[in-house]
Structure 1
Amino acid sequence: MPHATDTVHETVPAAPAAKAGGSRGRRIRRVVIWTLLALILLTGGGAWWAYQRLDSNLSSIDLEQELGPDRPEKLATGAMDILVLGSDSRSGANKGLAGGDTGGTARSDTAMVLHIPEGRTSAVAVSIPRDTLITRPECTARDGSPLPSARRVMFNSVYTLAGPACVVKTVERISGVRIDHYVEVDFAGFQDLVDSLGGVTITLDKTIHDTSSGLDLEAGTHRLDGTESLAFVRTRHGIGDGSDLGRIGLQQQFLLATLDEVKRQNLLGSPAKAYRVADSATRSLTTDSGLGSLRKLADFGRSLQGLDPDHLRTVMLPVAYDKVDPNRVVAAEPQASRLWKAIREDTAVPRSVLESTTSN
């Protein structure tokens, strides 16, 4: 069984990438964790001098109003569950990013449920693959019109059609987990965050050459800037079998490298740099109203001061090829149900789920 510091993912074969448009921007994998770590540092020293500027950077949505009362019950009252999305819109500030302008559309090509158990010393991040076929509940479309429930739709299409509130509603329906908070990070924000840190160092065992993402790295140690980091977490064709799910290992590696970078730099001792990181972080974030101010984010950050990044476990939702469309995946049962049950009840992820995974 993997240790708490292991990165694990389901071993069922990854679905081949979608054809047209399948190589669009993917994940800003788990960036919220190290974003929050940077914001925690703002609560000390003289950082509050920048309060007004940072507070005005944030955007928020009122999930309670949009979702209404028909939601799962919160079983583990001391735990917290956060839905994290990475949006891939490449209009506006994102237009110049890899893949070009998409005409203003956006997809939630990164999605995970970050579960923080009672005690706040560890965390489990459950990634939901973008190509997973799900049943979308009845929602309101982006244009305000009713959007009826639909079966066998691709998970990341929900954000495009109906926006973040419907994504939260969809995740709650498929998992039974009540989502406490919502955090969205865009591509441009991801790139700026890395640059504000001065780059992130990663070490590769094998050469990666991917003409689609523009990533060309020899085996060895590299210091990646924001543009290179974005290509790194998006690369697919240069690793493994070229599937969309195959890149998850690199994204998890990058997450841990970034956490190490935040710890190494000791931002508390450099208020100016802490401000630059926080400015990039807050400009890149959209949250629910419960986290929609710098004060609320800082209070939340202080509640996580006991969270050790070494005790973060990343798990991919167990999936299998869809029998009708091999370019899509579906939740693998009974492993998926057991995983969600453990999250709901704030218990350890079952051995039967972990034993069907392999460590990177």
Structure 2
Amino acid sequence: MAGLVVLVAAVALYLDFSLGRVPAFTDYADRTAPAQGTNWLLVGSDSRDGLSPQQEQDLVTGGTADAAGSRTDTVMLLHIPAGAGAPTLVSLPRDSLVPIEGHGPNKLNAAYAYGGPTLLSRTVEEVTGLRIDHYLEIGLGGFAGVVDAVGGVRMCLPQAIHDPKIDLTLAAGCQQLTGAQALGFVRTRALARGDLERAEHQREFLTSLVRKATSREVLFNPVRSVPMTWRLADAVTVADGDHLDDLGRLGYQASTAGEGLITATVPTNGGMDMPGVGAVLFWDKEKSAELFTALGQDRPVPREALAGAR
């Protein structure tokens, strides 16, 4: 028994050591103080790091030359209340027009391109008024690998999706998505409502992936759970103060929330084609302030402040 305990501890230490780490946070003047509850910044980057040319072709990512500097494909804020309330997962559309320190107004995903996780987290803190406690990022290949490791994820699509730019064709109805298909599903912009609908896809898939990864089908099946654990440790990047136990708590809290998890997109109020920047979205100042004030005070968000809530 003692040997088993030592082995488990050694594996846990190795997995914790395997996590990629970045200096995601920095102190700056007038930074928001920590508050009740826990805030995670969840980021999906378009980084091709670690992908072979064959993998880039299989996942239809384009090469590193096509990426023109890494940006964020997905930005979400997860608030986990200190008490027994339901967690809230809020999509922050990548095309949101926000002020970026040292660079002026630009799309939210440009903050990552300009200054990596540190500038992105600062930008999110400044536009939401919330203190970010933890950071988690996953790249293209890592995302697809985790999906394949759990045996794919079942999604029910209300309508077919066809995006020749990323070689994606999905029929309407329920189906099991592979890693490559899932990557296309969360990345496609061939949607009627553009970035807003894309954000909904990302939230829907993330919640389905968490449910699958924490299901008995996966957790109690070593054929699935062991590859998933190794894939996760190799695929994710966290803040330099985060550890494996933080990820464990995140997974537990997200999975136990079940259908009670509140998901929404930050309220928006139109947009425009901004010279030198491209198509941008404007946040609804009143409703977004109401949303983030409620989260900052660790209280339920008024329904009218939630856009596309589910």
- Find the aligned partners of 2:272 and 2:202 in 1 and give their Cα distance: 28
Find the counterpart in structure 1 of residue 135 from structure 2.
182
In structure 1, what is the equivalent of residue 112 of structure 2? 159
Distance, in Å, in 1 between the alignment partners of 2:211 and 2:254 is 16
Identity of aligned residues (%): 30
- 1:135 counterpart (81, 99, 102): 99
**C-alpha distance in structure 2 between counterparts of 1:290 and 1:88, whole Å:** 23
Structure 2 unmatched ranges of 5 or more: none
Task: Tell me which residue corresponds to 1:74.
Answer: 34
State the number of aligned residues.
296
Q: Specify the alignment match of 1:267 in structure 2.
A: 218
Residues 72 and 176 in structure 1, CA contact (< 8 A), matched pair in contact too: yes
TM-score, reference length from structure 1:
0.74
Structure-1 residue corresponding to 2:47:
89
Partner Cα distance (1:209, 1:63) in 2: 36
What does 1:17-166 align with in structure 2 at a 5 Å threshold?
Answer: 48=9, 50-63=11-24, 66-67=26-27, 70-76=30-36, 79-93=37-51, 96=56, 97-103=59-65, 105-119=69-83, 122-137=86-101, 149-166=102-119
Alignment-derived partner of residue 200 in structure 1: 153
Q: Quick one: which amino acid aligns to residue 51 of structure 1?
A: A
Query: 2:194 matched to 1:251?
Result: no
Amino acid at match of 1:273: R
- 1-structure distance, mates of 2:146, 2:155: 16
Distance across 2 between alignment mates of 1:210 and 1:109: 16
Q: Which has the higher contact order (CA 8 A, sep 6+)?
A: 1
Quote how far apart the aligned CAs of 1:120 are: 5.4
Q: Determine the C-alpha separation between the residues in 2 that align with 1:204 and 1:297.
A: 29
Matched residue type, 1:255: L
Q: Specify the code of the residue in structure 2 equivalent to 1:286.
A: T
Shift of 1:61: 2.5
Q: Structure 1 pair 301/271, CA: closer, same or farther in 2 (3 Å)?
A: farther
Letter aligned with residue 294 of structure 1: L
Distance in 2 (alpha carbons) for counterparts of 1:265 and 1:276: 15
- 1: CA distance, partners of 2:80 / 2:27: 22
Deviation sequence 1:324-346 (CA, Å, 0-9, x none): 63821121121111111111111
Report the Cα offset of residue 255 of structure 1: 2.7
Contact 1:120 1:306 in 2 (8 A): no
Note the alpha carbon deviations across 1:237-292, whole angstroms, 9 max, x for none: 1x324x2322233333323332342344443423453221111111111111221x
- Higher relative helix content: 2
Report the Cα distance in structure 1 between the residues aligned to 2:163 and 2:235, rounded to whole angstroms. Answer: 27
Distance 1:173 1:186, change over 3 A: same
> How far is the alpha carbon of 1:135 from its aligned partner?
0.9
Give the aligned partner of residue 331 of structure 1: 283
CA distance in 2, matches of 1:289, 1:193: 22
What whole-Å deviation, never above 9, does each CA across 1:106-133 have from its counterpart, x for those lacking one?
0012111110011255210111111111
TM-score, length-scaled by structure 2: 0.85
1:32 aligns with: none
Residue 262 (structure 2) aligns with: 313
